[in-house]
Amino acid sequence: MTFATGLSALRANQTALSVTGNNIANATTPGFRRQEVRFVENPQVDFDSFSIGTGVSIGEIRQAGDVVLESAIRNGISGSSQLASKLQTAQNIEHLFLPGTGTIQERTEDLFLKLERLSALPTEATLRSAVVASADSLAKEVSRVSNALEAMSTDSLSAIEDTIRSIDAKASEVADLNLQIWNIENTGRDAFALRNERDLRLTELAEFVDVERRVAADGTETYVMAGGMFDVGAGVSDLEIRVNEAGELEIWKEGCDKPLTGVGGKLGGLVSTTSEPGGVGDVQAKLAEFVSAITYFLDASHATGVGIGGAFKSITSGRPVGDSAAALSEQQTIVPMEAGSLYVSVNDVETGLSTLTSIEIDPAVDTLETFSTKLNGIDHVTATVDGAGKIAIVASPGFTFDFTGNVQTHPDTSALSDQLDVEVFGRYSGDSNEQYQLNFLGAGTIGVTEGLRLEVVDENGLTVGTFDVGRDYEPNSRLALANGVSFSLAPGNVVDTDSFSIDLIARPDEVGVLAALGINTLFVGNSAGTLEVNSLLSDNPSLLATTTNGDPSDTRNLHRMIDARDALVMRDGTITMEQFLADMTAAAGQEVSELELDLHAQEEQQNILQSQLDLTTGVDVNEELAKMLQYQNSYQAAARYITVVDDMLQELFAIVR
């Protein structure tokens, strides 16, 4: 019977009570793992022929934990964070196309609806203004969305830089804690609190970047991040953000010959949103594709029409080029160009006669300057290029010009053997440019000679028709040539070698140079971000080029613009522009929906793992209270034991006294 035995019990239970108290105190502390006390029996001592125990002591204080589960949780956090980052971007993109707020799709539809309505009431000034206002609204929305996407791209870059700084900060804290843990554990003591703190920092780090625990053969534990390219303790300060040729962001490590891949966490999410399908870069590219298409089809149609005022006395381009001496193909034009002809009609105001002239343009060779020179080669037209990269075209007094490609009312018949007036009527409605050669078969007098005929031959040399212009033909009466165009022959004599040609123009601007340079276009601006409606139209909606001849109710050119609505011009000619926008919006929604599902699944899995960890390492207060009662009882018992021993010793001392 010794006091020491009781004392050991008092000490052990007091320590255990402290551990329990600590567990209860930290029941809700983030990163805390419950601790357990393991009692061990003190060594026995020999007494007579017996061995008697000497009490109890604390063998160890263990901390609950599960490194595999914790690693899985960190991976989950990294994955969730990556998905959350991508979801945030996807939601921001989706918000740009939210219905009911005048989206690009809605405004495009509105523009076409107003154009269609205008076809019924083309002289209504309010409707013309409404069309221009609708186009303006579309341009503004395109510009707003484009700028918002640009801002998102810039914000992503900024967020990436912030994330890298956060990674460095957290990694630095982990490195400091590792050092402290090493110092303490080298003295043989436990560093539970520091380890908990370190692991909490690692968990926080996993939000920013993927973190992986590695154990060496000698049992040494290390943590790496960013696809294993960095030791956590080393930080990621030497990361470099680069923009590749496709405009996508990439993360490079100094000294590496290729960008990092497989980076997780928020950093991985931010980087992927700039390059992956459905990301900012992808949506920017699609928006640019749409803008190029609508600009090409509406502007190209508009450029080859005229407003109610008729042909132009002068006009200046609305899309300046950077270098007027550089090839047109090298300019940053909003629509592509290809080599071909541009047809220019010059109209004599007094006589009403027009002359159709074509000039050949090769964007790979021609510059704005040479384009100007070629225009100057046309009678009664003067073109000049200013220092701002714009071209101004002016007609001589008494003349006007346009790019409608309207039929030449009086084709050149100077080569005929006798003076013969040929007049051409109508508007060509064909799909391609055609030149017809008309050859007289036989000699005689038009309208008189029996059997006198006129043969029509197309560009391929094929005879497409023959007219009787002899006895049964009424001179000056119209003969239908093709697709809405007719012609008449005045009375006169011809021989069988006489012939003349008639040009029928469906595409007055095969090059696309008018749209590219912004000559009489609906929109101006060289990119989605700078798209605007032509201010000339805002100031005077009657200039809206709905006509091909200036007649107020001529809606031929308006129909061309309306036709663009149903034209299958996107995705290799499979869908319309509106369908493209709808698909783009649906894709943004799909991206959000899929990411929400993925994130939800990830979080559910994360919750399960976290619950499992909580069951293993968390503090069950009731359990701790039960232990507390147990330790209290043990302590009380030990104290009672000491009292008994003391009483027995007093009895012994009384015998001695």
Partner 1 sequence: MDIRITQQFSNNIAIRQAQMRQQQIAELQKDLATGLRIHQPSDAPNEWGYLVGQKSSSNRMEVDLENIATARQRLNQSVSSLTEAGNILTRARELAIAGPQSLERETLASEVDRLIDAMLAIGNSSVAGVQQYAGTASSTIPFEVTGEDESGRPTSIEYRGSNDSSDVVVSPGITASALPSGAEVFQQSKRTPSVYVGPTGAKAGLGTDSAAGIGELIVKHTATTYGSGSVAPGASSVGGDTIIGEMGVNTLTILADGSGDRFVRLNGGERFEFDASSTDLRVVGPDGERVFVDLSGLLPSFSGDIDLEATGTVSVDGGITETVIDFTNNQVLTDDATGEVTVIDSASIRRPGTDRIEYSGTDGVFESLMRLRDDLRQADDLPSPQLQTILDARIADIQRAHDQVTEFVGEQAVELSNIEVLENRVRELKLVTDEAVIELENADVADAIVKLQTEQNHLQFIYATTAMITQNSLLDFIR
When the beta carbons of 94 and 210 are compared against partner 1, the nearer one is 94
When the beta carbons of 121 and 464 are compared against partner 1, the nearer one is 121
310 close to 550: Cβ distance less than 8 angstroms? yes
Distance of closest approach, residue 325 Cβ to partner 1, in angstroms:
43
Taking every pair of C-alpha atoms in the chain, what is the biggest distance, in angstroms? 171
Q: Which amino acid is at 234?
A: A
Q: Which amino acid is at 44?
A: Q
When the beta carbons of 414 and 622 are compared against partner 1, the nearer one is 622
Question: Alpha carbon of 312 to those of 296, 309, 344, 395, 403: distances in Å?
Answer: 21, 8, 11, 8, 9
When the beta carbons of 365 and 568 are compared against partner 1, the nearer one is 568
When the beta carbons of 105 and 284 are compared against partner 1, the nearer one is 105
Distance of closest approach, residue 625 Cβ to partner 1, in angstroms:
4
CA angle (179 as vertex; 175, 182 as ends), nearest 5:
135
When the beta carbons of 130 and 191 are compared against partner 1, the nearer one is 130
DSSP state of 233: G
Q: In 3-state terms, what secondary structure has residue 450?
A: coil
Tell me the sheet residues that pair with 358: 343
When the beta carbons of 170 and 556 are compared against partner 1, the nearer one is 556
The answer for residues whose C-beta is within 8 angstroms of residue 68's C-beta and 6 or more apart is none
Q: Which candidate, 75, 64, 87, 67, places its Cα nearest to that of 605?
A: 75
Distance of closest approach, residue 317 Cβ to partner 1, in angstroms:
29
Distance of closest approach, residue 62 Cβ to partner 1, in angstroms:
14
Measured CA to CA, the distance from residue 29 to residue 348 in angstroms comes to 91
Measured CA to CA, the distance from residue 241 to residue 412 in angstroms comes to 65
Distance of closest approach, residue 108 Cβ to partner 1, in angstroms:
9
Unique residue bearing structure tokens 């154990």: 215
When the beta carbons of 357 and 400 are compared against partner 1, the nearer one is 400
Distance of closest approach, residue 32 Cβ to partner 1, in angstroms:
10
Q: In 3-state terms, what secondary structure has residue 295?
A: helix
Distance of closest approach, residue 112 Cβ to partner 1, in angstroms:
8
> Which run of H or E residues covers position 215?
strand 211-215
When the beta carbons of 152 and 267 are compared against partner 1, the nearer one is 152
Lookup: tokens for 249 = 């962001």
Q: In 3-state terms, what secondary structure has residue 346?
A: strand
Distance of closest approach, residue 494 Cβ to partner 1, in angstroms:
13
The answer for residues whose C-beta is within 8 angstroms of residue 32's C-beta and 6 or more apart is 26, 196, 619
Lookup: tokens for 508 = 């007055």
When the beta carbons of 157 and 582 are compared against partner 1, the nearer one is 582
The answer for residues whose C-beta is within 8 angstroms of residue 144's C-beta and 6 or more apart is none
Measured CA to CA, the distance from residue 85 to residue 156 in angstroms comes to 10
Distance of closest approach, residue 579 Cβ to partner 1, in angstroms:
7
Task: Please say whether the dihedral angle defined by the alpha carbons of residues 277, 279, 285 and 287, taken in this order, is positive or negative.
Answer: positive
Distance of closest approach, residue 373 Cβ to partner 1, in angstroms:
36
Distance of closest approach, residue 418 Cβ to partner 1, in angstroms:
13
Order of strands across the sheet that contains 211-215? 211-215, 221-225, 230-231
When the beta carbons of 615 and 648 are compared against partner 1, the nearer one is 615
448 close to 474: Cβ distance less than 8 angstroms? no
